Structure formats: structure tokens, C-alpha cells
Amino acid sequence: MENNPLQLSVSEFVELTNQTLEYAYPTVSVVGEVTEFRISQGKWVSFKLKDAGAVVGCFLTTYQLRMPVEDGMKLLVVANPRLNNKGFFSLNVRSMKPVGEGSIKKGFELLKAKLEAEGLFAPERKRRLPRVPQRVAVISSTESAGYADFCKIINERWGGMVVEVAHTQVQGVPAPDQMIRAIRYFNSLEVLPEVLVIVRGGGSAEDLMAFNDEPLARAIAASRIPTLVGVGHEIDTSLADMVADVRAATPTNAAEILVPDRNEIIRAAHQQASSLGNQLTQAIDEYSARTREQLSAAFRRIQEKLNEHFERLAALRLATAQLNPENVLKRGYALLRGDIKPGATVEIETLYEIAEAEVKNVRSK
């Protein structure tokens, strides 16, 4: 071979190298620390990945950039290795994600600050969910435990809803784009669902990274349908949660927020009816008391009137008694009957006796 080396033009060499790379390593995953991160003309992104022993250039478009990146972050890039016509070897990045707690946190904080500055978390943007929705859209993996928990709780708590479910991946590189497509699908329906719910159970920080994807966060924020997001456990906070109209701590909590508990409503309905019974009893008691009071007042009034009449009667009795002629006789007076003229006979009545007498003389007083 050395005696008869392959003779190629530069273009042929580049092409052959790329064919060989494409055959041997069509896609590689490379982990390294970002350096010389740049965005040119708002379209092209370039940076270098380095470790202690080597550096390799990386290239992608801003469209593929799903999170803010800065120098020093540790990334895993999935890329196609290429040698370009200018002789520079680079990795054409297809996807990338931060690795290691520090970089994941850094990426999250950078994107959070960016979205917050745009007002995507502002409380005034938050819409209220209907109290009892009748048509609900759900985005989740129908195979996940979180989705099963969500369905179990909504079925226990409430009924009568039409729930349309878009089955998507909820972790891994394809997950954000699938969820974005599902959000667009529901938002394009002629009759919009009343609530759009996105749920996923707990997982590691890396599992939940799909929910810290910038395009996904923007799609949730732009949804015409009010959103309810319940991802991970109570302690997990994702950017998807933060841009949602309502954040639930878990899928179970999302179900609890979404619908009222029918048992509570039934209990409340019976309590209301029973409270009316109490009010009725109270009203009857009050009515009886009022009637008793009115009767008692009427009786008092009659009594007063009777007393007045009795007093008046007693006074009349006294006056009548004083006019009785017998009482005058008792005081020593006498009653005289007959004509008072000389020679006439008159009758004189005292208390105990009646005498007849002749009038001898009459003179004027």
C-alpha cells in the first residue's frame, strides 16, 4: 500500500474522509466542556468542546439551540462528524444537553433568567382554570405511572368529562418536540379544550430535563388553551411548570386541581339540605315564640281593660251608695212626705220609725 498510495484530489480526499466517517461513525455522542461559544448573524452557533487532552469544534443552527449555553458548561452532544471543504474538522450537532449537576443547573438558571426577563412567568399572564371543565386535553406518556395516577384521581373525583390524550414521550431528546406538536395539535382544534394538562411522574434531574426545554416552555406559554402542568415530585421545579397558568406539584395534584371532588360536592349538597332543615326548625321555634309573645301581650291588654272597668264599676258603686236615702236617715235625718200646708197631714220617716203629723203653721225661710 505504501508503495502505491491512493492518489486523490483535495476534494476527493475530503469526500472520502466524510464517506468513511459516515460509514464508521454516522453519529457520535461526545461529552466535553464548552469553550469559545459564539452565535453569528443570529443564525449560526459554534463552540468548542474540550477535555484535558483535546479540543473539537462544534456547529449547529440557532434553531437547534434549545437552551442557553455558555462557556464552562459540560455538554453531551449528539453529532455527525464532518470534515469541511476548508479543512476544518467539526461536529455537526444534532442535539445536545447539559451533563452533570452543575451544568444542568446552570442551563436551567440561564434559561429561567431569560424567560423571566421576557415576562413569561408574570402572575398577570396566568389564566384561571374553569371550576368544572367538560373537555380536557392531556399530554403525557400513556404508559407512565404519572399518567395512570392522574387518570385514577380524575376518575375518582369527577365524571362526565371528555378527556383527549396525546401520547408523547416525556423524557429524552425527542420528548420536547413531541410535546410541542401535541400542544399545537390541541390549539389547532376547531373547538378548543377548556384546559391543557401536561403530566409526568417523578424522575432524575436528567429525566425531567425535557421540561426545561426553551421551545417547549415557549409553546406552553403561547398556548391559547389555559395550561396546567404537573411534572415530577413536589420538590421538582421545571420551566414548563413556571410558564404554565397553573402549576401542580405532581400528576396526582394536577388531577386534584383540575376537578372538584364529587364526594365533597355530594357531602356539601346534603349539608346544605340539612342546614335548611335546621333553619326551618329555628324558624318554627321563632314563630312559636313570637306567637306566644303576641298571645301573652293580648292577654295582658285584656286584663288591663278588665281592671279599668272594674275600677270604674267600684267608683260607680261608691257614688250610688252615697245617694241611697237610707244612708241619710242613718245620719239622723228624716224623710217627709205630703203637702206642706197648714192643717195637712204629713208622713215623717226616720231610720227606724214612720210617724204621721199635722202641719200647724207654714212660713217662708
Q: CA 73 to CA 66: how far, in whole Å? A: 14
Longest dimension (CA), the chain: 206
From the list 25, 88, 89, 185, which residue makes contact with another protein (rule: CB under 8 A)?
A: 185
Pairing state between β 195-200 and 55-61: unpaired
CB of 241 to another protein, least distance (A): 21
Please identify, using beta-carbon distances, which residue of 34 and 229 lies nearer to another protein: 229
Please identify, using beta-carbon distances, which residue of 166 and 210 lies nearer to another protein: 166
Residue 155 engages another protein in binding (rule: CB under 8 A): yes
Residue 295 engages another protein in binding (rule: CB under 8 A): no
Buried b / exposed e over 124-141, threshold 16 CB at 10 Å, is eeeeebeeebebbbbbbb
Q: CA 293 to CA 299: how far, in whole Å? A: 10
Q: Which of residues 44-73 bind another protein (CB under 8 A)?
A: none
C-alpha cell read off for 324: 241611697
How many other C-beta atoms can be found within 10 angstroms of the C-beta atom of residue 67? 23
Q: CA 228 to CA 249: how far, in whole Å? A: 10
Distance of CA 149 to the CA centre of its chain: 21
Residue 145 engages another protein in binding (rule: CB under 8 A): no
C-alpha cell read off for 275: 342546614
Site size for another protein (CB under 8 A): 40
Please identify, using beta-carbon distances, which residue of 281 and 345 lies nearer to another protein: 281
Give the interface segment with another protein, choosing from 70-78, 167-175, 309-317, 354-362 (CB under 8 A).
Answer: 167-175
CB of 224 to another protein, least distance (A): 18
Please name every residue paired with 48 in a beta bridge, in sequence order, or none if there are none. Answer: 35, 57
Q: Which of residues 235-264 bind another protein (CB under 8 A)?
A: 262
Residue 284 engages another protein in binding (rule: CB under 8 A): yes
Please identify, using beta-carbon distances, which residue of 181 and 233 lies nearer to another protein: 181
Give the interface segment with another protein, choosing from 103-111, 181-189, 238-246, 333-341 (CB under 8 A).
Answer: 181-189
Q: Which residue has the cell 477535555?
A: 51
Residue 162 engages another protein in binding (rule: CB under 8 A): yes
Which residue intervals of 124-200 are DSSP H helices? Answer: 145-157, 175-187
From the list 61, 134, 327, 345, which residue makes contact with another protein (rule: CB under 8 A)?
A: 134
Residue count of the chain: 365
Buried b / exposed e over 201-214, threshold 16 CB at 10 Å, is bbbeebbbbbbbbb
Question: Per-residue contact track with another protein, 260 to 279, x per CB under 8 A?
Answer: --x--xx--xx-xx-xxx-x
List residues near another protein by CB under 8 A: 132, 134-135, 142, 151, 154-155, 158-169, 174, 178-179, 181-182, 185, 262, 265-266, 269-270, 272-273, 275-277, 279-280, 283-284, 287
